[in-house]
Homo-oligomer: A and B are copies of this chain.
Amino acid sequence: MGGAEEAAERLVRDRVLLGRTSTAERVAAILRDHITEGMFTPGTRLSEESIGEALGVSRNTLREAFRLLSHERLLVHELNRGVFVRRLTADDVVDLYRVRRLVECAAIRTAAPPSAEALAVLREAVQAAERAAAERRWPEVGTANMRFHHAIVELAGSSRLDEMMGRLLAELRLSFLAMNNPRAFHEPYIGRNRDILKLLEAGDADGAERLLAAYLADAERQLVQAHL
């Protein structure tokens, strides 16, 4: 058997290993979706017994999933009291936007000018937001807007930064749940994202960065207001 064939077999095996996931990770993925979509409201305690029974997994497995989500700040673990869906404070919102401002602005500057593929991804995100708005699906508008900003971070070309931004946006989603009028909150930002995109397409990274900073400052202000 040739070395190339061995290597190919090895790759196939690795690929299979990558694709499979443990029960704890699948459970964590399910709970993550539920939390970020607001099906468990912040502050709710997640009982080991009831959740475990509902999902058909043992308490041990469920606890592993809880650890993962606590590490992502979606849950808070209070010793001997259980895990609760994270409730963001105004300080949390301020901190989250501090990170967003630093990372997103730096990503735009670092990657100027953006590649054609990167611009296509950004364009697609804006269009998705516009489609969702046309169908009055406001939560999806929020999702698409977040994808736009995730794509901005992807300009930096770092998988670690991408992952970190993904977690940060999931956490931020907890604060969106506190906005009682999703349309009023999300709709205005669609056009502002399109404006940022226009400047990037025109090669004006500085201008895009300025618009982005203003965007983030406004969103932060609105969210902080809702978390006082």
Contact = CB atoms under 8 A, between A and B. Distances in A.
A48 B147 CA distance: 39
Given A64-B63, A67-B64, A71-B68, A158 B20 contact: no
A184 interface: no
A158 B105 contact: no
Contact of A168 (B72, B103, B110, B160): B160
Contact of A106 (B77, B79, B105): B105
B71 A158 contact: no
A13 to B, nearest CB: 10
A24 B68 CA distance: 12
Number of copies: 2
Given A17-B79, A79-B22, A158 B98 contact: yes
A17 B101 CA distance: 33
A112 interface: no
Interface in A19-72: 20-22, 24, 60, 63-64, 67-68, 71-72
B102 A67 contact: no
A107 interface: yes
Interface string A137-170: 0000000000000000000111111001000100
A96 interface: yes
Given A102-B110, A164-B164, A17 B156 contact: no
Interface of A: 17, 20-22, 24, 60, 63-64, 67-68, 71-72, 77-79, 81, 95-96, 98-99, 101-103, 105-107, 110, 156-161, 164, 168
17 contacts: A17-B78, A21-B79, A24-B67, A60-B63, A63-B64, A67-B67, A67-B71, A68-B71, A98-B156, A98-B160, A98-B161, A99-B158, A101-B110, A102-B106, A102-B161, A105-B106, A160-B168
